[in-house]
């Protein structure tokens, strides 16, 4: 059986009058485990769908392969940021030990991604980027962002950094399209499957939302926060279909509207809202 969530309150009032953080003891949070399991199922369907579905299936095959991809990996990247404030990172007040802890964790995932390339994708170069490498780097970036969150007013700064990081990618897309053709080796490291630029932005958004959740004062406040998250998520999810219907988008409800760089997908416009 999964352990039940146990929460203790830090009653010491910090400087500046900001609300004290909620310290969550090491226990399993069932909703997070369920979300990870959901993403894992979709990831398995995505990686195997090309083998047990023939191209003659047409659009059903298209959606089963690409929608599972667009759901699974972003969930993992979001959870990288969301879970860091829950992991006790605030309780380690010394910056260097905290960064070292998460740097080791991130490097292990990057090495696991390289091993996966050898075992599962032997036809590709070992240095090809994959979602595991981006998750590993995301852990390191989220740890650095966690240090910023110890200072007041940093949530808005981190969200702004995430937005600028994504917008810079959008502005640079045309130039990057030519760059990946001219630099085949480097482009496999930097701009292959779910590249760090711009997907780290999703990690930073998750970091801020996780920090808000941790700082809610009691279980009732955290439950209300999750209901608000659910409502916002439903609206974002519905936005894509409403927009496509209203704008009469060609090839609606497909990924053809989005950025395709180095034969890999990054959301654009209405798809960004859907991913959020």
Model pLDDT, residue 246: 85
The mean pLDDT of 179-199, rounded to a whole number, is 91
Domain extents for the chain? 22-231
CA distance linking residue 130 with residue 47, whole number of Å? 13
Q: Which residue has the higher pLDDT, 92 or 102?
A: 102
Name the pLDDT band for 1 (thresholds 50, 70, 90). very low
Name the pLDDT band for 68 (thresholds 50, 70, 90). confident
Mean of the per-residue pLDDT values of the chain? 82
Q: Which residue has the higher pLDDT, 248 or 164?
A: 164
Task: Point out the least confidently predicted range of 13-17, 52-56, 72-76, 125-129.
Answer: 13-17
The mean pLDDT of 149-156, rounded to a whole number, is 88
> Which residues touch 92 (CB under 8 Å, ≥6 apart)?
98, 101
Q: What's the CA angle centered on 152, arms 207 and 12, to 5 degrees?
A: 100
């Amino acid at each position: 059986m999964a352990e039940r969530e146990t929460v203790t309150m830090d009653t010491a009032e910090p400087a500046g009058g900001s609300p004290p953080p909620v310290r969550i003891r090491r226990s399993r949070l069932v909703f997070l485990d369920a979300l990870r399991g959901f993403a894992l199922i979709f990831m398995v369907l995505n990686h195997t769908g090309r083998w047990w579905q023939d191209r003659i299936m047409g659009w059903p095959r298209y959606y089963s392969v690409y929608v599972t991809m667009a759901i699974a990996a972003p969930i993992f990247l979001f959870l990288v940021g969301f879970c860091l404030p829950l992991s006790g990172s605030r309780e380690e007040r010394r910056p260097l030990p905290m960064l070292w802890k998460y740097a080791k964790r991130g490097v292990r995932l990057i090495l696991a991604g390289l091993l996966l390339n050898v075992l599962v994708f032997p036809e590709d170069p070992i240095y090809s980027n994959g979602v595991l490498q981006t998750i590993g780097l995301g852990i390191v970036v989220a740890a650095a962002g966690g240090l910023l969150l110890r200072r007041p007013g940093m949530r808005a700064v981190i969200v702004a950094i995430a937005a600028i990081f994504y917008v810079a990618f959008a502005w640079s897309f045309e130039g990057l399209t030519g760059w990946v053709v001219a630099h085949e080796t480097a482009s496999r490291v930097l701009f292959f499957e779910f590249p760090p630029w711009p997907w780290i932005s999703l990690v930073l958004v998750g970091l801020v939302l996780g920090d808000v959740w941790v700082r809610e004062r009691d279980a009732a406040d955290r439950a209300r926060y999750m209901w608000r998250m659910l409502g916002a998520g439903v609206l974002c999810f519905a936005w894509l279909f409403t927009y496509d219907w209203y704008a009469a988008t060609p090839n609606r409800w497909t990924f053809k509207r989005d950025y395709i760089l180095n034969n890999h997908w990054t959301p654009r416009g209405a798809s960004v809202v859907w991913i959020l």
